[in-house]
Structure 1
Amino acid sequence: MEDYIFNTTNEIIDLNEINDIVKLTFKKLKVVNPLINIVIVDNKRIKEINKLYRNIDKITDVISFAFEEEDKLKYNDIRFLGEIYISYEKCVSQADEYNHSVKRELCYLVVHGLLHLLGYDHMNEEDKKIMRAKEEEILNEYDIKR
C-alpha cells in the first residue's frame, strides 16, 4: 500500500494515526495495492478547491477526487485511487459541534473520503445508509467511538 499524507497547515497532526486508519480501511475492504494522497488543508484552501472543482463557494470538511475508473489507472499492479482534501479547521469545529474528539472526527473524515474513492456515495437515502454503516464498522474496528 502506498499513501502520501501531507499536512499543509501549521497544526500538529498525528499523520501516523491517519496512516493507520487508511491501512485498516483498505485491509477491511480488501483493496489491493492502493495509492492515494491525503492533503490536510485550512478552510481557505478547501473553499478554493470546492469553488474551483465543484462550483460551490463555501467551506466543506472533505473533498475526494477519484482517479480510478474500472481499474484503468494501474501501474505495476498499483491502483491509483485518488486524492482526499480535509479541512483541519472544519474538522476541529465539527468535533466540537458533535461533542466528540478531534481524533474521532479526523478518522471519520479520512474513512469517509476513502469510501468515496472506492465508489461509495450518499446521494440517496439507501446509499447513505450503506455508506454510514460501513464508516461506523471501520471506525468501531479501529476502536474510534462517538
Structure 2
Amino acid sequence: MTLSLEWNDEQDALEIGEPLIAMLDTLLKLAAEAEGIESGDVVISFVGDEAIRVLNRDYRNIDKATDVLSFSMLESVEGEPEILYEDDEELDEDLDDDGQDAGDTDEEYGEEYPEPLGDIVISVERAIEQAQEYGHSVEREIGFLFVHGFLHLIGYDHGDEESERIMFEKQEAVLQKAGLRR
C-alpha cells in the first residue's frame, strides 16, 4: 500500500506539528483501507477563515468561510480543459504495450508514484470554534474534517438524507477505530 500525505500550513491559529500529522496519516490509512483504496496522494492545507472564504467563493460561488473544502483529482468537471500533448510521441511514451497509461515511475528505484487523489483545505479557525462548540478536542475536529474531506475526494457526498447518513457513519467508524471519540 502506497498512501502519502503532504501538508501545507498557511495559518497562525494553531501550531501544526508532527503529532497532528501522524494522526492524520493514520486516519488516511484507516479511511483508505475501509474504502479499498491501496494507493494515492493527498495534500492537506491548513488555512484561516479568509483564505477558505476566497476558495469557497471562487470555486463554489459561496462567499463565506467554511470548515473544509475538497478538490478531487478523480473527478472531471464539464468544460474542464483536456490535457494536450505537444506531439503524439509524448503521448505514446506514457502508454504501455497494450495502449494503457503506464503511470509515472521513479526510474532510479523502479517505484510507481501514487495517483493524486486531491487536496483537502481545512480552516483551522473554524475547526477551533467547532471543537469548542461540540465540546471535544481540536485534534478530533481536525480529524473529523480530514476524513470528511477524504470521503469527498473519493466521491462521497451528502446532498440528501440517505447519502449523508452513509457518509457520516463511515466518518464516525474511522474516527472510532483511531480512538478519536467525542
Task: Give the TM-score, by structure 2 length.
Answer: 0.74
Q: Determine the C-alpha separation between the residues in 2 that align with 1:51 and 1:136.
A: 29
Q: 2:80 maps to what in 1?
A: none
Q: Determine the C-alpha separation between the residues in 1 that align with 2:163 and 2:116.
A: 24
Residue type at the aligned position of 1:90: R
Output one character per residue of 1:19-60: Cα deviation in whole Å (capped at 9) or x when no partner.
Answer: 222122222322111111110101110001001111100010
Are the counterparts in 2 of residues 25 and 111 from structure 1 also a CA contact under 8 Å? yes
Are the counterparts in 2 of residues 66 and 81 from structure 1 also a CA contact under 8 Å? yes
Say yes or no: does 1:41 pair with 2:41. no
SS of corresponding position for 1:105: helix
Say yes or no: does 1:140 pair with 2:142. no
For structure 1, which runs of at least 5 residues remain unmatched after alignment?
none
SS of corresponding position for 1:143: coil
Q: 1:109 maps to what in 2?
A: 145
Aligned residue among 7, 18, 21 for 1:5: 7
Q: Determine the C-alpha separation between the residues in 2 that align with 1:78 and 1:24.
A: 17
RMSD: 1.7
Q: Determine the C-alpha separation between the residues in 2 that align with 1:29 and 1:112.
A: 13
> In percent, how many aligned pairs have the same letter?
37
Q: Determine the C-alpha separation between the residues in 1 that align with 2:21 and 2:116.
A: 20
Residue type at the aligned position of 2:150: L
Task: Give the TM-score, by structure 1 length.
Answer: 0.91
Select the structure with the greater relative contact order (CA < 8 A; seq sep ≥ 6).
2
Q: 1:91 maps to what in 2?
A: 127
Are the counterparts in 2 of residues 38 and 84 from structure 1 also a CA contact under 8 Å? yes
Query: Is the radius of gyration larger for structure 1 or structure 2?
Result: 2
**Greater than 6 Å deviation, 4+ residue runs:** none
Aligned residue among 25, 28, 36 for 1:22: 28
Q: Determine the C-alpha separation between the residues in 2 that align with 1:21 and 1:62.
A: 16
Q: What displacement does 1:130 show?
A: 0.3
Q: Determine the C-alpha separation between the residues in 1 that align with 2:59 and 2:68.
A: 13
